[in-house]
Structure 1
């Protein structure tokens, strides 16, 4: 019996060893189980980071939209400042002189004359089929000679053009007959 007891103790010890190894496996599996949730936690973290990425996407889109909206508003403000009626050059703001053109007489004439245009630059202006008398005061850029030309129509007549710079008479000329012509011109000093 002594030998049998030793065998039995050895078997128990042997069986205890496997059972210990089973418990070690169980412990390892238990230790793996917390690792599995850790892994799933890391997946959840990855999911959360994916959610964060999803959240960052709309946030970035929101920033892009906000930036575009801000740029559009700034553009409208700049356009409004630049395109304000008070910011456009006034006809008087450009260096110019006041010139009065006058045509008197009988008949119908075509008239061409120099004046400061709406853009603030020198411009040629015309008026066709004008019944007389006719008078116009305009600004002419300094350095450009004021000039007025008249042409009577096929019915003829007699017409006189006159030019005054800053209220002072400078020149006059007369046209008569069919398609009669006359031109009046003056001089303006160049701007300083």
Structure 2
């Protein structure tokens, strides 16, 4: 019985792998399109980066899809930096900042309806303050 179960699970795993290689990307794209269309509601979040000096800031400004957002970049942004964006459906609010100098500290924060839903602090150019939250519509 164990042998039969093991063979069945192995066959399912191989079949799943083959299907994934054969067209998972297309199926995933269609699923993402369907989710984006199904959840048409929008919401606003505010990204904030605090610290001293400058930082390179990457953030989801609402472009692309929920599964593959196209991030925008603010190079050498003077701190503090703040931006309010409108996102759609289940798109994840995302902001990441890297300090402009090795001794600088940066903090990212995502706020939704006045409540901080994610924050993180990092120091120096080798570590990024990265904030990714779940969509409040999810």
TM range (shorter): 0.5 to 0.7
Q: Is the 8 A contact 1:175 1:181 kept in 2?
A: yes
Q: How many residue pairs get matched?
A: 96
Greater RCO, CA 8 A, separation 6+: 2
Measure the CA separation in 2 of the matches of 1:165 and 1:185: 13
Matched, 1:164 2:111: yes
Please state how far the C-alpha of 1:178 moved relative to its aligned partner.
3.4
Please state how far the C-alpha of 1:134 moved relative to its aligned partner.
0.5
Q: Deviations over 1:134-190 (max 9, x none)?
A: 111110111111110111124430111100123321011101123331111111134
Equivalent in the alignment of 1:178: 125
Q: Following TM superposition, where does structure 1 have runs of at least 4 consecutive aligned residues deviating by more than 3 angstroms?
A: 119-123
Please state how far the C-alpha of 1:131 moved relative to its aligned partner.
1.4
CA RMSD of aligned residues (A): 2.2
Equivalent in the alignment of 2:71: 124
Matched, 1:100 2:46: yes
Q: Is the 8 A contact 1:156 1:180 kept in 2?
A: no
Measure the CA separation in 2 of the matches of 1:108 and 1:179: 15
Measure the CA separation in 2 of the matches of 1:179 and 1:131: 19
Equivalent in the alignment of 1:12: none
Q: 1:153 aligns with which of 59, 76, 100?
A: 100
Compared CA separation, residues 177 and 123, structure 1 to 2 (3 A): closer
Relative to total residues, which structure has the larger strand share, 1 or 2? Answer: 2
TM-score (norm 2): 0.61
Measure the CA separation in 2 of the matches of 1:166 and 1:140: 13
Relative to total residues, which structure has the larger helix share, 1 or 2? Answer: 1
Q: Is the 8 A contact 2:60 2:70 kept in 1?
A: yes
